[in-house]
Amino acid sequence: MGISQYLKVIARGKDGARALPREQAADLLGQVLDGTASDLEVGAFCIAMRVKGETPEEMAGFLDAVHERMEMLPASRRPLVVLPSYNGARKLPVLTPLLAMLLARRGLPVLVHGTATEDRRVSSQDVLATLGVSAMQALGTIEPGEVAFAPTALLLPGLERLLDVRRTLGLRNSAHSIVKLMDPLLPVAGDSLIVSSYTHPEYAVSMAATLTLTGADALLLRGTEGEPVADPRRKPQMDGFVAGHPQRLQEAQGGPLAALPSLPTAIDAASTAAWIRSVLDGTQPVPAPIALQVEHILHLTRAM
């Protein structure tokens, strides 16, 4: 049928556009992911949703479409922690690999997934590779205490193509929110906890509503430059979700900072990896906000 029928609803501008019900949103994104929509239609979809904004119902439908098509991981023996890593380092070092390794050290299986969306940023994949964690070539069981990295293209090629539209349009699109909420291990296969992050306060509200609507197990926080790891300098607000039920785990730290943690002065992959090694071997302390995030994640996995 094509997606023009949906564009007539969502592409009428900020005030004239209407929201799609969950089933229609799933059909719309499914056609985009399957490659049946033309490049012009995909561009129109991306811009329309950027102007209108996704409702929780639409985002739930988009996730339905993704989960119907995505390659799923086999179940792990303990709850799998899922860390979406798509923003990378801009001013601060990307410490998602440190979070992953701290969680693995506590006996949890950890999946980091992502792809480079900006060429000028240092990605978690770069840092993990320097630390000896190569990208998966095929999906398999992640054992407790193991960190694995899955490129987005391995999970769902159509989703990576949609992320790449940013390079043409110069604008983020719905895919950049979808990847932070999707679950590569659905409940039918086993237990998983999504660690999801936002950059702007309005996303905290919409993402929390989506996690509640979809009944997700998750930790939601304002991440470091869009990464799912707490800012090493200041404790952010953290909210937990168990089967979609929200609970405030951590209030945001206010006031002036008494001290700053010792962070690497350079943000390249080699410098970041070397600093992470120094934290793991005890030479450097774990930044307090990240240590607290680890404890909250462990608490949620026990409550699932």
Residue found under tokens 């050290």: 105
Phi/psi at 62 (nearest 5 deg)? -60, -40
* 202 and 245 share one domain: yes
What global pTM score does this model have? 0.95
pLDDT of amino acid 186:
64
Q: Are residues 55 and 109 in the same domain?
A: no
Q: What is the per-residue pLDDT for 260?
A: 76
Residue 17 and residue 141 in one domain: no
Domain shared by 91 and 38, yes or no = no
Choose the final residue of a domain: 69, 92, 111: 69
Task: Tell me the β-bridge partners of 220.
Answer: 196, 239
Tell me, yes or no, whether 231 and 142 share the same domain: yes
Q: What's the pLDDT score for residue 169?
A: 87
List, for the chain, all residue ranges whose pLDDT scores fall below the cut of 70: 1, 186-189, 258
Q: Domain tally for the chain?
A: 2
Three-class DSSP labels, the chain: CCCHHHHHHHCCHHHHCCCCCHHHHHHHHHHHHHCCCCHHHHHHHHHHHHHHCCCHHHHHHHHHHHHHHCCCCCCCCCCEEEEECCCCECCCCCCHHHHHHHHHHCCCCEEEEECCCCCCCECHHHHHHHCCCCECCCCCCCCCCCEEEEEHHHHCHHHHHHHHHHHHHCCCCCHHHHCCCCCCCCCCCCCEEEEEEECCHHHHHHHHHHHHHCCCCEEEEECECCECCCCCCCCCCEEEEECCEEEEEECCCCCCCCCCCCCCCCCCHHHHHHHHHHHHCCCCCCCHHHHHHHHHHHHHHHHC
Same domain flag for 65 and 98: no
Q: Can you tell me the distance from the alpha carbon of 225 to that of 253, in angstroms, rounded to the nearest whole number?
A: 17
Q: Tell me, yes or no, whether 48 and 146 share the same domain.
A: no
The predicted pLDDT at position 75 comes to 87
pLDDT in tens, 20-65: 999 999 999 999 999 999 999 999 999 999 999 999 999 999 999 9
Q: Is residue 75 part of a domain?
A: no
pLDDT value of residue 189: 61
* Residue 88: predicted pLDDT: 86
Distance CA 291, CA 13 (A): 44
CA distance 125 to 89: 11
Its domain, for residue 292, covers: 80-303
Over residues 214-246, the pLDDT tens digits come to 999 999 999 999 999 999 999 999 999 999 999
* CATH number assigned to the domain comprising residue 34: 1.20.970.10
CA–CA dist 100, 228 (Å, integer): 10
39 lies in the same domain as 122 = no
Token digits of residue 287: 């930044």
Q: What is the pLDDT of residue 188?
A: 58
